[in-house]
Structure 1
Amino acid sequence: MFVIRMMNDMKMKKKLALVFISAAIIPLLICGLFLIEKLREIVINDAFSQASANVERVQKRTEELINVPLDISYRLMTDNRMKKVASQQYDSYVDVIKTYREYTDIRDYLQLYNKEISGIRVYVSNPGALNNWEFIQPSTKITSSVWYQEAVAQKGLVGWNLILDERYGAENLSLIRAFPLDEHGRSGVLVMNVNKQQLHAIVEQESFPTLIVDDHNRIVAANEADMLGKNLSDIHADSNILSSQEGSYDTQINGKSSKVVIANLNPENSWNGLRIISIFTVSEITHDANQIIMLGVIVITGSLIVAILLIYASASLISRRLLRLSKHMSRVGAGSWEATIEIDGKDEVALLSRQFNALVRNVNDLIHEVNETNQQKNLIEQRQNEMKFKMLASQINPHFLFNSLESIRMEAHIRKQEDIAEAVWMLSTLLRSSLEVGNGTIELREELERIRCYLDLQKFRYEDRLIYRLRVDPMTERMQVPPLIIQPLIENAVIHGLDNHVEGAVIELEVIGVPEGIHITVRDNGAGFNTERLAQIREELSASVQEQEGQRIGLRNVNDRLVLLYGASSALQIESEPGRGTVVKFFIRGGEFQ
């Protein structure tokens, strides 16, 4: 019925256009969108297959490359001559130099496998030996490094990390492996640098951004030079890239939809491994396809424009007769009650013209009927007091929340302490309870809990400058009270108690139950009011409730609500002396509070 009514309200041209759009354009658009999505899907799947193949190729070539230092490490682990050179006691530096010259295995490996490895270092503590960049006395900095300690702890397993070569001052992907020196339990650490140029040559030929990272997410090789040596978290913060293992993932990079393909490389007898990561952006992959799609859209759009012009011309012929009828009806609407119209033909338009004259005769009756519908408008005033109460109850000054949040933020930034979590929890509790305040009453214990949260937050802000005491008769905690009837008084006490008071503020809340209700007292040791200011405040509170939007809340808010709910006997009583603080008292009348 809604669609029929909407169609009846449309002009003929719009109806014909809508029919054409529904019958031709919408199906065409649906087919076009379906084909576009299929084309994008095919392009993305092809790119994904290519990226997966690239990652697999990089994985195999990298594995072939690092298998060389892995094999050499096995040989050196069983090379007793190397162990003897590294651990034997030397009588003089001449003996050291002679022994180093006679042992050529390391130099031979470097010369024979110079495409796969660029350096071999043996770290052994031997006070009588020398450093010749093959046998090195490890310094305290080296022995305390993470990679050295991991190698010793793994007891012969192989590790792969990006570490600094002290000789050349550059970081290289290196094989790290601890080996036993002698029967006394001494050990050394073997480090072999993988050839950096060869490693980069593996990834440079890839068409998509491709990275090789170690288990600490440090980039050891990349086909984008500015990424080398950086931590992956500095470039990509997506958890799929940082922590995910083998597989493919969807992600967002620089606001663009992208896909990530990850393959693991875990060499034999290694405590860690490498990850090969390939990333491609969907928009870049679909760029060429989008150009083809755009060309098709232009052709289709041109065809649709021509069709729309033809439909518009046909609709104009049909709507011209309706326009004549519409103009005559407009004249009648302007007051020409004698106007008549005659349109030849037997279609619906001609039928309407013949019925038009009968319609004019009934217009006057319709006008009278319309005039009778403009009555009964004065029901709002009887609820004015109720609305005023709701407005008063909802005016909660949020300044202390913002101040507390700022304090928490600054404290967290400066001190980085866990107790801030507790403060945030209290603040969220207070905010939630404030936002859930209704128009009815709550139990006094709920109001007290809100007050405790507020005071704890202010104490977090002011620390030792704020002291508060709550003395509450336990029998009164089930008493029904209006929400936020005490908290504004506590807030005023905190603000005025700390104002110009270097040594801090002491806030006291006392709730005493009596058979007729409860007496509530709020005290502070603030600056207080002089006689003139106190008289002015009492005069403002005793005035009639006529606040306008934008007026201040606080004492006036609480006082007005108490008077509206419990009568003038429950109005606020304020006592104050300059330099001795302020006392605010009021009484809430109620029944039993067991």
Structure 2
Amino acid sequence: MVYTDYMALSFNNLKIRTKLMVLYVIAFLVPIAIITVIMSFWLNYRLGEWQRRVSRASILQTASLYQTMLRSTEAMSDSLFVNKTVQDTLLRHYTSAQEVYEQYANTQFLDDFLRTNADVASFRYYTENPTILDNAYFIKATDDIKNSLWYRQAIESHGNILWTMKVDNISHKKMLSLVRAVHSRSDNSFIAVLSINIAAETVLRLLHNLEYETLIAVNGKLEFSSHDLPDSRRPLFLSQTFSDDVTTVNDIDWNGERSAALFCRLYEDRASTMVLMQFIPRQVMRMTTLQTVIICLLIMASGAAISALLLVLFSHYFERRVSYIDNEIKKIVQNDFETGPRLTGSDEFAQMFDQLTKTSSNIKTLIDEVYRHKISQEQLLSRQNDIRFKMLASQINPHFLFNTLETIRMQAIADSNKDVAYTIKLLAKILRHNLDVAEHPVSLMEEIDVISNYLEIQHLRFASRVSYAIMFLSPVKDVAILPLLIQPLVENSFSHGLESRTKDGFIYILVDTEGDELTISVKDNGCGMTQQQLQSLTQKLEMNTVETVSTSIGMLNVNQRIKLFYGKQYGLHIESQLDKGTTVTIRVPLMRLQEATEND
């Protein structure tokens, strides 16, 4: 019992990484390493055998396809060799070109041979008849042709088939050709040499689908390759003798690397030989050991089963310590900051629990401090908002008052009439309203009356230079709004937009409701703003900037008051075009007078 307790305490003192490494080595690495070493030797031998069988089957299949093509071409040559119409065409002595063409008309059946033999690119009869004319099938043998090796060998073979590589004199392409001498059926005299040509592309199609480099040697010389074959490697002569079956050379130097080579005889007679060769680099053969990985995965699964038992025992111990810390965290999440007894040992779990205890204490202290700080901050913010409301409301521009008094004075000097008394009355109403204003919503209609008085005074001032209209698109008699929001916008329309116009100036005020929102648009046809000026002003509105130096409650301060009172989602929207005018729209929540009175 004492020994068990000592081992448990020692294990508790180990770091988590050390625990996992010990478990990994004992439960996983050791058994997997032993099994993998044993299996690797066995698999290496078995995979080598399998690779040789697959390669042998592949080269035999290719050889079979190639030999089928050769036999089909030889069968075609037998038909062309004894054809009576062809022999009559070759033996006849012609006296005119017309006579030749008439005879050629009888040999149109030769086209059928090409159509029925897809592997054959062309065939020619090379004749020494001096009266014949060249066409696609009948060629007059020149001295160069007569002196060529294949032509002489064909004549010497006395009608036997001979396979060789030669350049076709019409297409000028090097092709695999079957050549044989054609003799008369009557006296067995020499008539011509038949050449049936198989294009190199046709032969290469049989090779290109093969995984490993495969070549064909014709008469001891490499002529076709599934890979690009440089000229430095092409003049290779083969002196070995091969059986009909596949001959394997397990170790050969090919293309600068050790390879296994397979040789298969395709064709052999007295004058012609063809050999199919395939080279498999040893490095590529070793790539097939990828299957070993798959087998090793199965072995690893077996090793995992062995280690699972040990992991279960460890996970039970691991789970008890994790569950304890998890329960303590849940208590803290539920605002219970009193932790339980400390975990035994000095591993990461014990250190984590110590940090958790300290964190719990710090959170509790921080919550108390934040709560007190929040109360103080809210009180300070409330006082700051009260001061800001008073400052914003008090920033009335006296410019309008001075201009109005100047208008009254000029009217009095020029012509004493009732308009002076009317103008003074309107001014008194405006001054009384502005002096009585407080920072709480008032009747929208009262604000519109003040704006109407303001516009009437401006109309008296500018006479026919400026006209105005106030339009209600929705019923708003019981609607409330924060005071001194519309007047600064109307004032700006005159001072910055219309004051410079000499005629046809106008200002429209549109009042409407959209759902649960109230919109008031102030539109003029003044000088407007450039796009840069409009963009700068819009950015200031979005940044919630407050004017600090101004002679009026400008648009920025109106926007600030709206956001402070109604919320950040409300405010001003400006549209303007240079020399066309400006439209400023107030957007605030729709508030009824009764609701505003109850809130006060």
**Which has the greater radius of gyration?**
2
Q: What is the TM-score normalised by the length of structure 2?
A: 0.40
